[in-house]
Amino acid sequence: MRKKDSRSLDARALEVAQKVNNALNSQKGNLEMERDIRLMKAISVLLKFKTPDSVEKWLLKPNRQFGNAPPMDLVNSEYATRELMKVILSYKGGNYA
């Protein structure tokens, strides 16, 4: 038999909302960490043949090849990061900046 909760509906709703918010924040933290790892991999490859300044400029500058989004925006998903890496590797040794 289920024990009756004597707290108000608002108090119970607040508790559930806090638990959901905590879970979402945990997921967000994991997603941000995954994004940061993808970004670091892209930067590592770029730094093999470009200077840190040119890498930074290229990652932050809007690029027509990516729908005028800066390449850095592509690391938000695994699929887009793979596409970004294809472009980076195709420019290897060339002028992408």
pLDDT tens for the chain, 97 residues: list them. 556 667 676 777 777 777 766 776 676 777 788 888 888 888 988 888 888 888 999 999 999 989 999 998 898 889 999 999 998 888 765 555 4
2 part of a folded domain: no
Q: Is residue 20 part of a domain?
A: yes
Within a domain: residue 58? Answer: yes
Tokens 């938000």 map to which residue? 76
pTM: 0.65
Is residue 41 situated within a structural domain? Answer: yes
User: Does some domain include residue 1?
Assistant: no
Domain assignment present for residue 32? The answer is yes
Alpha-carbon dihedral sign for residues 58, 61, 64, 70? positive
Let me know if residue 3 belongs to a domain: no
Is residue 97 assigned to a domain?
Answer: no
Distances (CA, A) of 3 to 6, 9, 18, 81: 9, 15, 22, 50
Range of the domain at 41: 9-91
Number of domains, the chain: 1
